[in-house]
Each structure stands twice: as C-alpha cells, then as structure tokens.
Chain A
C-alpha cells in the first residue's frame, strides 16, 4: 500500500506545526464513521427503550459528544509526548486494576468498575489502551537481533501477563482474552517470530484443563453452555437462543423500526448493552446489520491505514494495537450475539449503552488520531 511512501520517509520539517494544520490532518472520514456509528447507537437505544429517548439514547449521545471532544483533544497531543507517558500510563492502569480489586463495586458477579470523580470507569478497558502504548514504546526501537533475545521479550511478556492476570481475577474472561490478543498482535507487528507464539499457544493448550479448573463457576457455565446451548435453556444459553431468534426473525429487511418483537417484548434482558446489535438486526434486518458491519470495518481499516502510513514504529504499533482492540471488541460482541463464542460481557463499541467502554474506545481513537496527525513526525534519537 502506497509504496512511494515507504521508501522516502518524509518526517515533518516543522516540528511545531500549528493547531489548524493538525486539525486538517485529522482523518475526518474516520470521525464521520465514528459519528455515524454513534447515530446508529442512538437509533438502537431509542428502540430499546420502547421508542423513547429516555433512559438510554439521550444520555448516551451526550456521553458520546463528551468523548468525541476528548478524542479530538487527544488527537492534537503530540504522539511523542504520548510515547513518553506510555509506561506511566501502564503503571496507572495496573494501579487502577488493583484498586478495583480492592474497592470496586460488584456488577453481575464481577468487580469491574470504580468510580472516579463521579464517573464510572472500568480499568480493564483503559488497561488495553495503556498496554498497547507500553508495548509500542518497548518495541519502538527494537532491532531484529534484540527481538530474538529471550531477555528482551520476557519483560514484554510479563507486561502482558500482569494485567491479564489481574483482569482474570476480577473476573472478566472476555477482556482478559482480548488483552492478551492485543499483546500478541503488537508483538507480531513488532516482528516477533510466529513460532514463538506457537510455543506459547501449545503451552496454553496443555495448561487449559488446569486453567479451566481455576475458572469461576459462571465462566465455566458459559463455556459449557457455549458448547451445548440446550443444556441450560433458561441460564446463560437463554441469551444466546433469544439473541439468535432476534437476529433470525429480522430477515432481509427487518421487522420495521420499533416493531421487533424480541426487542419490544423484552426477551433479552439488558439488551441495550451487550445485545444491542440484536435490536438493529431484528428491526432493520440483514441490510441494517450489514451497514453496521461495514461502518465498523471501515473504522478498523482506517486504523490499519494509519498504521501502514505512519513513519514511526511507535505510531505503527499503537495504531495496530488500537485497531485490533476495536476489531476484537466487535468480533467478540458479534460472535457472542450470534452464538459463535461464549457470552463475555463485551459491549459493541460506540453502539452499546454504557459510559466506560465508550470512554475507553474514544480515548484510544484519540491516540489513534494523534498517530494519524503526527504520522510523519521524527522521534528523537532517530528511532522509528
């Protein structure tokens, strides 16, 4: 892609270019897609409330506007400054995870949230971004020789395992898996050999039964239910079945806005959060869900475009990590809704109701846009 950009690097000549130029360099198509998805979210949440802006749609759109401003503000921050605070941010993320373990409030059988200044945040969501930044910072100057050194890879591996372990303890299986996959993706992008991951995967497979033993009952239940949805029709499998019915009854063009029976009759508990996609799929059918899929993937594709077009390794790895994070969000949520993987408490970003996931995703998008704006900057010390 764009081979002429690869050969002659064009770092910014002017290191302190102005705000107006930065704004011009923002990927506005990306911002448009984000806004369109937020609009889809408003539509779905309006329907989830039975055709009313309260209690979901309005409050969510206000949150979105706040998060959008935050995103654009971060986009203006120099990526080199962000690179400098990568490890402090990582440390903050770990501290927050420890705080949530100790003081967090329990929701749905898991301690996931802490309230900071009246705002509920989910440290595990922030941790995914902070881990991305830290790993990108770790690998940004790595040579192939160093990448082959075990002692160089070990801290990176530990940097992944520490938050993953803490998130598993919450317990939040879905986010833990996503976090590990982000770590793996960044390491792959940094140039770590494939076979090394194969070894880790092999070890994990061997250790899986042991791990299963340490899972919480509800996590095990989810896995068993996934393997056999009929075994617990009113338990965890209930959601999967109801969600599949919602999708399937949508048909090609849907049952019509505000006329989805599964949605309007409340067969899916908490459909405004994790199962929000079923509302769109049921009421707007296959065409509606495809529109959402296209918008979601456009965002992922543009994150990859930013990664490919970025001149510096830090930005490339950060964009790859953030794009993959968003992809994994979508993948886990959509697969869950369609009964392809166990239910994991992962919302559909930008559409589901809820503040903490939205904030975390938009924070990541802010960093992504900062990479995009500063894709040509020169890092001190000639590191790329």
Chain B
C-alpha cells in the first residue's frame, strides 16, 4: 500500500461472528502549521472482522492505491502518509468486495479560518 507501508506481525484473531467489522485509524487527526503544508505522519490501521477473511484497504487518495492482506490473521498495517487533504480509508472484503468499515484521516491546520462573533441575526433583513 504505497511506498511506506510496513506490515505488522499477525495478531490473534479478533473476529466475533455477532460483531460488526470495524476499522480503527490511529491517529485520526493530523495538525499542520499551515494549510499549504503537507501532513507527514505515520498512521496505523487496525481492523476487527465479523468473520476472518482476507481484506483490502482502499483510499480516496491516488498516492495510496489498493492494498490487500495475504493472510486472514493479519489485522493491522502501518504506513507513512504525506498529504494536504483528508484521506478516507475503506475496508472491503477481498472476496466479495463488500464494504466492511471505513475511517478518515482528517487534516487540520493551526491557521484554520478565524471566526468572530456575528452581531446580527442572519435573517434580520426583513
């Protein structure tokens, strides 16, 4: 999955037949000093599955193409990310391509638009 993916060792199966599949992203927010500055961060994706199966992870960022697990025992990956915008990750079944879960890396900057109190009701003009 991209240039900086490193696979973590297998963990115990986290599946439970009556659970929904989940995808956990750590961290979920990357804070940059400026909105034109790319977020460069190492993230971890962990998933729990309703049934043990092979999965793939997709994103809406072309820099991070589809990645698929090669063992049903694998439940996490780590990767280095460099991005200016949010990235939405989706966990899908490798076999059926069914969407199982999603997670979003939110990029925010300390120079977000400033706000101040508005002194009039927006609909006062009537």
Question: Do A and B make up one complex?
Answer: no
**Which residues in A have some Cβ–Cβ distance to B below 8 Å?**
none
The chain B residues found within 8 Å of chain A, CB to CB, are none
